[in-house]
Structures are given as C-alpha cells and as structure tokens.
C-alpha cells in the first residue's frame, strides 16, 4: 500500500526520472516544498560510555570502550561473558521510584533520555500544544528482563505471584505510553519494532508526522535493556556474539577488522527531539540540523542474514539521499551499523560502494559499536544522536580495535583515532535488522 507521504508527493512530482532502483524504494517527494522542514532541537543518550550525550561523546572521541565483564548476572556458563552495561545510573532523577518499579529497565532508560532531550532542547512543555506533541519510542525486544524474572516466579512460586504489572512491563509500546503520560504528549504515539533498525525507523517515521503537518513536536528514538541470561543464551547459540575475547573485553568489538568474530550486546537509550522548522523558530530554539532524508527498505532475502550484495541497504541510503535533495558528494560521514560480524561489515561496505561509487573512498565511516557495543533496538537512536553531534562539531569518533584491516573492506573507517573534518555539509547513519529491515537517516547542516 502506498504511504500517505508517497501519495501526496506522487501527484506533485510529475514524471519520474530516477533509476529503477530509486523508483521502487524512494518516497516520491522530489519537490521538497511539498513538506514541512524537520529540524533537530534536542539530543540525548545513555550508554555504557556515558550517562548523557556530552559525557558519551567525550569518551567516544577518546576511543574509550564501555564494554566489560557482565555484572548483572553470572556470565560464567555463557560463551560470551562480556557486555556493555549502563552502571550506577541515577534513575531517581527521571522517574518516581514507585513508578520505576512498575516498569521494565528499558522503559526507565527511555524515560531518562526523553527528559534529557527535552532539557537539551529547552522545550517548555507548558507552552506546547499537547495534541500536536507525539512520542515514537521503539524497542527491538521490549521488557525481556521482566519477562525472565516473572517466568521464573511463575514456575517456582506459582501464577498468583506474577506481578500485576507484568504485561505492561514487557510490551514494546509501554515506553512511548509512559513518556506521553509523564510529559502530557497527546499526539501520535506508538511503539516501533524492527529489530536492530528500530531506533532509526522510529526517528524516520516520527519525522513524517511533522512533514505532513500532523504534529509540531516529536520525541523519538529507541531503548533496549536486553543484557539478560535468556538473551545471551539465544544470541550465543545462534553464534552471533563474540566468544573468543572474554579475557579482553575492551578489544572484543572489532568492526571492519579482519579478525572480527561477532557482536557484543549493549544496553541504553537514545532520543531525538524533532520539531517543524516553524515551531522551532517561533520559540527561538537552537537548531542542531535538519533531518532531511529517510529511507526504509527490506531485503526480502533471509530472516537474519543481510542481502549478500547489500542491495536493500543501498536502496535505503539512496532513498534518503533523494529525499534530501542533495548531491552524494555532500555527504561527508556515515555512522555505520558496523556490528563486528563477518557478514554485516562486508555487505554494509558493499552497499556504501554501490550507493556512492567513487565518492565512497572519500567518505569518513566509523562504527561507534566498537565502544558502545550493539544496543539492538536502541542502536539507531544512539547513532543518530552521535551523527547530529558530529555534524555540529566536525569531530568524528573512531572505529577502535581496527588493527588488522580486511583487504575486502577498503574504505576509510577512521581507525582507532578520532578525526576532525571542517565544513561537513551532511552526515548519514544506517542500520539493519533481523527480518531484512534497512533504514537510513540523513542530516544536513542548518544555516545559523
């Protein structure tokens, strides 16, 4: 079914002159005057590398990894015994302790970054038109920690001991609902689930409401708290996680390195505050950048493996560029999905080459998962926040642990040391998810 955005644009766009690949996947919005401009006015993140976006960026730029031996459960029986945990986080700053106990950790993390993004954007909630204020907060897995604990209670103590809050604890839309209740957001609101592409999809879909004039303000992103025994058992048994570096946690996540052997799971949350340009300017907001392009496709190939030629991801990157209406040469940086698995890093590189051609060699590309680990449904939101900060400062975080280059992967992955680039015009971030989901966001410099 053609989306509302595509339907409106198709009538206005006239004859299409894009390639076949573009015509299949691109939202036909060639005339950018047909939509409201979407700007980013607030960013936030909570990861093992920092309890807020600024602390995290300092550590990422310094190449400091947050990966360590698991402390939240006994990891000894598992093939992978390391992870990227958020430790000593002051949840009481963001949620009433009684309310926090009624919600899973993923919702607690989501609430923290939602409030951080509002604070970063200096948004006065008392002056926001609440029916035009929405929340799209995604999670790839939802409340799996609460699921495991209540299942154990069920089988050891009986059904009457299961928490009456169990169902809202585990479902993937709860974070969006709780944030809306707390902040009074009465506009578009639902959960987004597309595995590791969740956060990127949530941001892209939220932008559509602003583009179409259906909302003025959207909080959007992803949250995940899946560093749990059951998650580890499942991912280890499917041989997706790194199991040969338990004695060297900091060196374990090695995107694009020839010795990469699997991902390291992380937890955390990221949120962007999006507004229409008119709304942001009317309240005198600081505008980080414009969210100018969004692409979403499916490989329709395999439930876990990416397309072996990067076809679907290339189409998503292409769609975002076309929607933004910029030249490919304007893109200077990509925060890559870069999970440190043999297939992902290879096929993602192929997709970038397929999309950018010769310009691919001039791009700066890095995987911050080398330090944060892979946050599953929160990954795209965290990496979107990082991308916004990179565009603002020109400071590009490195891909650490890239010590043994893979001859098949020959792009500039910013190995081991941060780089600074003056005059960045546009940056991108992309993510892939089980099910063949691909999503990409493109941010452009906003004239100050």
CA distance 12 to 7: 9
Do residues 268 and 55 make contact, with C-beta atoms less than 8 angstroms apart? no
CA distance 394 to 364: 11
What stretch of H or E contains 115?
helix 105-120
Do residues 82 and 264 make contact, with C-beta atoms less than 8 angstroms apart? yes
The active-site residue out of 196, 220, 236, 242 is 196
- Residues paired with residue 50 on neighbouring β-strands, in sequence order: 47
CA-based torsion, 231, 47, 433, 311: positive or negative: negative
Do residues 87 and 48 make contact, with C-beta atoms less than 8 angstroms apart? yes
Do residues 86 and 80 make contact, with C-beta atoms less than 8 angstroms apart? no
CA-based torsion, 269, 78, 145, 70: positive or negative: negative
The pair of structure tokens assigned to 62 is: 């310094």
State whether residue 52 is helix, strand or coil. coil
73 burial class (0-12, 13-18, 19+ CB within 10 angstroms)? middle
In the residue annotation, 196 being an active-site residue is answered as yes
Count helices and strands (H / E) in the chain: 15, 14
Which residues are catalytically annotated?
196
């Amino acid at each position: 079914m053609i989306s509302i955005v595509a339907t409106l644009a198709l009538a206005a766009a006239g004859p299409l002159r894009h390639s076949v690949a573009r015509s299949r996947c691109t939202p036909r919005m060639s005339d950018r005057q047909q939509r409201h401009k979407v700007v980013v006015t607030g960013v936030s993140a909570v990861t093992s590398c920092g309890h807020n976006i600024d602390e995290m960026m300092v550590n990422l730029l310094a190449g400091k990894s947050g990966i360590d031996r698991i402390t939240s459960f006994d990891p000894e029986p598992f093939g992978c015994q390391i992870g990227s945990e958020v430790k000593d986080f002051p949840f009481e700053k963001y949620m009433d302790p009684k309310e926090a106990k009624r919600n899973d950790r993923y919702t607690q993390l989501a609430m923290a970054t939602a409030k951080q993004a509002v604070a970063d954007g200096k948004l006065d909630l008392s002056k926001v038109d609440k029916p035009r204020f929405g929340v799209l907060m995604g999670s790839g897995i939802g409340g799996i920690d609460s699921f495991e604990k209540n299942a154990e209670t069920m089988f050891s103590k009986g059904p009457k001991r299961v928490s009456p809050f169990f169902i809202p604890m585990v479902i993937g839309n709860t974070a969006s609902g709780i944030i809306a209740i707390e902040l009074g957001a009465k506009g578009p609101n639902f959960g987004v689930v597309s595995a590791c592409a969740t956060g990127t999809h949530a941001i892209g879909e939220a932008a559509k409401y602003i583009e179409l004039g259906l909302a003025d303000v959207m909080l959007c992103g992803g949250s995940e708290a899946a560093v749990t025994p059951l998650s580890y058992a499942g991912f280890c048994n499917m041989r997706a996680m790194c199991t040969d570096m338990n004695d060297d946690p900091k060196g374990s996540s090695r995107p694009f390195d020839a010795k990469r052997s699997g991902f390291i799971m992380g937890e955390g949350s990221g949120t962007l505050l999006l507004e229409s340009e008119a709304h942001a300017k009317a309240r005198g907001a600081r505008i980080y950048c414009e969210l100018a392009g969004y692409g979403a496709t499916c490989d329709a190939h395999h439930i876990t493996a990416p397309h072996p030629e990067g076809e679907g991801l290339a189409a998503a990157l292409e769609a975002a560029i076309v929607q933004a209406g910029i030249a490919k040469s304007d893109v200077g940086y990509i925060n890559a999905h870069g999970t440190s698995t043999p297939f992902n890093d290879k096929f993602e590189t192929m997709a970038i080459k397929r999309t950018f051609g010769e310009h691919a060699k001039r791009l700066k590309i890095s995987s911050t998962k080398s330090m944060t680990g892979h946050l599953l449904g929160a990954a795209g939101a965290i990496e979107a926040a990082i991308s916004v900060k990179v565009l603002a400062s020109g400071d590009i975080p490195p891909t650490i642990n890239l010590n043994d280059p893979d001859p098949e992967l020959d792009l500039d992955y910013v190995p081991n040391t941060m780089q600074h680039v003056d005059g960045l015009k546009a940056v991108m971030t992309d993510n892939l998810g089980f099910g063949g989901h691909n999503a990409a966001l493109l941010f452009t410099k906003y004239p100050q």
